[in-house]
Amino acid sequence: MTVTTLSNSAETKDEVKQPISIVNDSKKGIENHRQAATHHQEAAKHHLDAAKHHEAGNDEKAYESTTLANGHSVIASDYQREDAKHHALNAK
């Protein structure tokens, strides 16, 4: 079985080449973390907006902001779940 590896012309003898599948798996994990973080930040922003709207007595806008926050939280959870599945399936 042949495993294709990424190599760098500047590699030294002591450096270990990683199979492309490991590099791609790592990139997928990084993307999952970044997406989850982005959606958590958006959720936090909308929760803060909801609090401001409640303070101002504008319950309808607060409700809209809360709904947006909850949507971003669900999306962030989806990315976290994908990452957890990825780790569980690739655990050694």
Q: Which residues of 67-91 are buried (b: 16+ CB within 10 A; e: fewer)?
A: ebbeebbebbeebbebbeeeeeeee
Give CA–CA dist 74/15, Å, rounded: 41
pTM: predicted TM-score of the whole model, two decimal places: 0.71
Judge whether 80 and 32 are in contact, CB under 8 Å. yes
- Tens of pLDDT along 14-62? 555 655 666 677 888 899 999 999 999 999 999 999 999 999 999 999 9
